Amino acid sequence: MFEYSVETHYTIDEAVNRIEESLKDEKFGVLWEFDINEKLQEKGLDFQREFKVLEVCNPQEAYRVLSKNNLAGYFLPCKIVVYEENGQTIIGMPRPTSLIHLLHDENLQMLAKDIEERLIICIDKAK
């Protein structure tokens, strides 16, 4: 699977707040929160579901990855999404290992695996 997703009983905003808090334990921070519903409404499109994209980064990890291969920057920052589907809040992310795999670099794959495991811990704590 290219993604990791969990369901939660929290609202979208509660889930976003819980993710932000859990990320701090792994020294990740939210660089930007993109509210897709709001942006599409702003553009006159009738999109009724809540869907937020959090761009998250751990500066030390970004440095490690970019020091090995600039092409890894195409996958930065990491994304975590929080959205509503059929009345249920979902928290998920594309797996860093799936993305880095495209570069065919075993050293980067090991770094991505570590980052992925830590982000999964954060998501699981937030659910």
Q: 126: closest CA among 39, 57, 24? A: 24
Q: Angle at CA 98, nearest 5°, toward 17 and 93?
A: 15
Question: In whole angstroms, what is the distance from residue 40 CA to residue 48 CA?
Answer: 9
Domain annotation for the chain: domains and CATH numbers = 3-126 (3.30.310.70)
Note the pLDDT of residue 58: 97
Note the pLDDT of residue 1: 87
Question: In whole angstroms, what is the distance from residue 93 CA to residue 123 CA?
Answer: 9
Note the pLDDT of residue 48: 87
Question: In whole angstroms, what is the distance from residue 69 CA to residue 35 CA?
Answer: 31
The segments of the chain whose pLDDT lies below 50 read none
Does this model's pTM top 0.95? My answer is no
Note the pLDDT of residue 108: 92
